[in-house]
Structure 1
Amino acid sequence: MQLSSTGPRPRVLHVSQPVDGGVARVVTDLVRAQLAAGAEVTVACPADGGLAPAAGALGCDVRHWRATRSPGPLLAREVRDLRRVLREVSPDLVHAHSAKAGLVARLAVRGRLPTVFQPHAWSFEAVGGATRLLALNWERAGARWASRMVCVSEAERCTGRRSGIGGRWSVVPNGVDTDRFSPVPAHVGRSGIALLDGTAPTAPLVVCVGRLCRQKGQDVLVEAWHEVTRRVPSARLVLVGDGPDAPALRAAAPSSVLFAGSVADVVPWYRAADLVVLPSRWEGMALAPLEAMACGRPVVVTDVDGARESLPPGQGPRCLVPPERPDALAGAVADLLLDPPLRESLGRQGRRYVTTTHDVRHMTGAVLDVYRELLGTAPGGRATGVAHTEYRESIHS
């Protein structure tokens, strides 16, 4: 699928912070598809994490942009550094991913180029009090500098609209590579995973993939795990990922909880699992449940924005639990561990659903359609070429 059949190759600049986890995987998938579609693609991101090497390996131009994960005293420097990247790259379109990159990119561009902002979950859902109000007021104000806001779920869009964030919206659900994330029998999946040495081959295995942080709710899962093992004594839980909550989780976890840390390839862990759990407090639309279902594994997720939309129709009563309810989470997990035929049926349903609804090719194609629309005219209805010339003159002045 070509981005443009005539004229020069469009230049796309992705700006991303964070540089790991689901956001990095989405950006990498977009870069791969856009290079194949004939675009000139640049990624501006911090050098640490997996995004820069992954994008570089695809043949993408990578610019190391120094940026912290959260807003702070270095914000003015981060905006200046990104303006330098903009001068060097001279993009036709900027696509900013997540709250921090969205803040800096919109301050740097200020609507003078077609700008896509993709929140990947709203920043104001992560905080409370005065900080929440500040984040919400920024998103309301910053919307005027986004030509399009791309949400990964209808629930995420509704939350934005309900919170008073205006602008033009597109909903593009996340997608996964259904060739890479594919099923194998669980006993085959467990072979070769050193961390599972000494674990009985028949022991029920629950896997949670995600950054170890408050958003992902692993603390709720660890609390629930005591009740799970009361009902299923041989069960084991593996937390795959790293993050700021790792020390506290290790201190609170019983011996039946294993820590895999950050891994280069999560596919073996999905294939090893009998059940995959993501007990998030908030989400846009996490990749982990989609990846797990693509591997034919049933999932249990919390009833938060995006997560409920990731489930196949009809699975909610068994696989959807209220957030921050360890009792409900324990009940759902234990019930499924004790019912192998139901797990197998749910896994087959999930695989069919992801291949038809959440294939990565659907996602990347929909984003390309947004680009095609925006590259026709710049904000205010001016021709892109005129706006681009004016922007170059203003940013160099």
Structure 2
Amino acid sequence: MRVLNYLELEGPLERSGIGAAADHQRRALLGECGRSEGTDIDVVTDPWGDSLRSVAKRLRHERSPTVEYDIAHCNAIGPGSLVVARDAMRTDTPLVLHAHVTREDFRDSFRWSNALSGPLGGYLKRFYSQADLVLCPSEQTRRHLEAYPVSAPIEPITNGVDHRSLEGVVSRRENARDRFDLHGLVAFAVGNVFERKGLGTFCRLAQRTPYSFVWFGPYDRGPQASPTVRRLTANPPPDVRFTGWIEDKRDAFAAGDVFVFPTHAENQGIAVLEAMACGKPVVLRDLPVFREFYTDGVDCLLCSSEDEFCAALEILAANPDRRRELGENARKTAAEHSLERVRTRLLEVYERLIT
């Protein structure tokens, strides 16, 4: 089976959740998730071949701009994905569109994202409805898509967590703490700095508690960045640090003690699963998508207000045993989202659509 697993703008999206999810799919399909046996899957990531000349040649002789494949799986929503989708429909080839983008999680991401979220919803309705099957990271995302409404069938599949990429976190702790000059309890977040991800709450919690707060991840201060992101990353409150991009994410998970994620909207949240896989206690905003995967008080603490976030941090700071208990339970939960599980679900979907 030859699978086209396509992520347009792969370079710019490399540091995003979409890029991580596509990478997880490819690693899973290629057997890079701990399987001892080989794989009969041939994964192609570039639908255009090696050059524009090859695209022109195919158009002259085959009337198709893309390379040959048995099933198309697109992870983005731009013009390249639209061309692949139309070509798959024209050739009656199974088409899977992965809904990593919704108008709900697009809001409060960039300067103009709220104004654009309405038109985006109309586009997404038409774009996703072309598919033979829409995959999405959660039941919550499926409910959003069904409300647009998207007419194609929709099924959830976890984005997964790459456990191998997190190996050795414990051994990196001392060096990571020294590198970032961290002491005491460190509340931390990992990923792109967006207003939607609870940036304002994160900074206010730092002002209300005696702990250090560190956000490991890239941020933008250009014209497309929201005013809140530009203001807070340029002049953060005391005890708040924004590191920017770090080459090895293991240093972030090694240095931090409690993963704090007061996000307002998520399709799943890969960084949460990564923190859990590292055995970190996680404190999350009480959202339906998190209740779908996690259990409050067992593998996480869910908070509805800043007062509850502060209380949760106070409890965890005073009780190392509770931190370890939550972390170990979180590790077990993350094991349920392995790349092996992603592989099994993808193969089942592909084979069902092809036959």
TM-score range, shorter chain: 0.7 to 0.9
Whole-angstrom CA distance in 2 between matches of 1:129 and 1:192: 41
Q: Work out the percentage of aligned pairs sharing the same amino acid.
A: 23
Instruction: Give 2:143's aligned residue.
Output: 158
Cα RMSD for the two superposed structures: 3.2
Give runs of aligned pairs for residues 142-181 of structure 1, distance below 5 A: 142-181=127-166
Q: 1:298 to 1:129 in 2, by over 3 A?
A: closer
In structure 1, distance between residues paired with 2:51 and 2:280: 37
- Partners of 1:86 and 1:226 lie apart in 2 by 58
How far 1:199 sits from its partner (Å)?
3.3
Superposed CA offset, 1:359-382 (max 9, x none): 121012211211111222xxxxxx
Structure-2 residue corresponding to 1:210: 191
Deviation at 1:208, TM superposition (A): 0.4
2-side partners of 1:220 and 1:62: how far apart? 46
Change (3 A) 1:331 1:194: closer
Q: Distance in 2 between matches of 1:137 and 1:199?
A: 46
Are residue 319 (structure 1) and residue 301 (structure 2) matched? yes
Task: Please state how far the C-alpha of 1:108 moved relative to its aligned partner.
Answer: 4.0
Deviations 1:272-316 (A, max 9, x none): 221112222211111111111111111112233533334246448
Structure 1 residues 108 and 166, CA, compared in 2 at 3 Å: closer, same or farther? closer
Letter in structure 2 aligned against 1:319: L
- For the structure 1 residues 175 and 102, does the alpha-carbon distance in structure 2 shift closer, same or farther, using more than 3 Å as the test? farther
5 Å-filtered alignment, 1:355-370, equals 355=335, 357-370=336-349
Change in 2 beyond 3 A, CA 1:19/1:63: farther
Q: Does the aligned pair in 2 maintain the 1:312–1:353 contact within 8 Å?
A: no
- Counterpart of 1:336 in structure 2 is 316
Q: Are the aligned partners of 1:94 and 1:116 in contact in 2 as well (CA < 8 Å)?
A: yes
Whole-Å separation in 2 of the counterparts to 1:22 and 1:282:
13
- Counterpart position of 2:44: 42
Residues 78-128 of structure 1 deviation map (CA, whole Å, 9 limit, x = unaligned): xx9xx9996241222221114447963566437333211111241344237
- Does residue 269 of the first structure (1) align with residue 271 of the second (2)? no
Give the Cα separation in 1 of the matches to 2:301 and 2:64: 45
Does residue 1:240 correspond to 2:221, yes or no? no
Partner of 2:175: helix, strand, or coil?
Answer: coil
Change in Cα spacing, 1:199 to 1:271, as seen in structure 2 (3 Å) is closer
Deviations 1:220-248 (A, max 9, x none): 2012210122xxxxx21111111225542
**5+ residue gaps in structure 2?**
32-38, 108-112
Kept in 1, the 8 Å contact 2:7–2:76? The answer is no
Equivalent residue runs for 1:383-394 within 5 Å = none
Q: Does the Cα contact within 8 Å between 1:13 and 1:94 map onto a contact in 2?
A: yes
Q: 2:97 aligns with which of 105, 108, 117?
A: 117
| 1:298-313 paired onto structure 2 within 5 Å | 298-312=281-295
Contact 1:155 1:305 in 2 (8 A): yes
* Counterpart for residue 97 of structure 1: 75
Normalized against structure 1, the TM-score is what?
A: 0.71
Q: Provide the residue aligned with 1:20 in structure 2.
A: 15
Equivalent residues of 1:43, 1:62 under 8 A apart: no
Distance 1:228 1:141 in 2: 46
Q: Secondary structure at the match of 1:337?
A: helix
Match for residue 33 of structure 1 among 28, 34, 48: 28
TM-score, normalised by the number of residues in structure 2:
0.79
> Residues 25, 101 of structure 1: CA spacing in aligned structure 2 closer, same or farther, 3 A cutoff?
farther
1:169/1:87 CA distance change after superposition, 3 Å: same
Change beyond 3 A, Cα 1:63–1:119: farther
CA contact (8 A) 1:102 1:118 kept: no
Change (3 A) 1:191 1:155: same
Aligned residues: 324
2: CA distance, partners of 1:265 / 1:218 = 22
Q: Which moved more, 1:274-283 or 1:173-182?
A: 173-182
What is the CA deviation profile of residues 182-238 of structure 1, one whole-angstrom value per residue up to 9, with x for unaligned ones? 5865xx5421127645433xx001120010122322232012210122xxxxx2111
2: CA distance between counterparts of 1:197 and 1:124? 34
Structure 1 residue identity aligned to 2:44: T
Aligned equivalent of 1:387: none
Distance across 2 between alignment mates of 1:223 and 1:332? 15
